[in-house]
Amino acid sequence: MTFIPRRYAMLAAYTVFLVMVDQLTKASIARTMRLHESIPVIPGFFNLTYIRNPGAAFGLLASSSSGFRMVFFLLTSLFAIGLLMTIFFRLRPTDWWGQITVATILGGAIGNLIDRIRYGEVIDFLDFYIDGYHWPAFNIADTAISLGVCSLFILFACDKRKSHCAIPEHRSEL
């Protein structure tokens, strides 16, 4: 029997939790709302708006053929997951911030990959706006990816600062 370290099991459970929350919220939206329906939650600022995004972030590649998009997103998702796993296994076992960050991005990537495989597009529903200026709608997986990437940049910046700003110890013998 193979022993899985507790930290890996906990991080896998966290990743699965994020995927489940993402998929359950998307299923709830798809089941209870009509496509393009919008429900005001905070008038003038936030609506639940059911849309399907065939493209990437901000609708990039949305006008490309569905076959191209499927292959492109499948390959990029698999590459990203492989890269995340490489980063994860190179982190120090005591680096919880880094491990949670990578697990967060991984959960988001898997959540959106499931949509792309199931529907050929991603279900989005979080619609923030001010007056007539809307931020592109997004979902829980997008939120996890965005927060995780921001956290990863902060983590890398802090690590770089530590190594760049480290003052070597000099011992002078008198």
Instruction: Report, as residue numbers or ranges, the catalytic residues.
Output: 124, 142
Token pair 């939650």: residue:
41
Token pair 């991984």: residue:
106
Cα 34 off chain centre by = 25
Query: Which strands, in side-by-side order, build the sheet including 133-134?
Result: 38-42, 46-53, 122-130, 133-134
C-beta contacts of 28-31 below 8 A and 24+ residues apart = 29/123, 29/125, 30/123
Alpha helices, H only, the chain:
6-32, 66-90, 96-119, 140-165
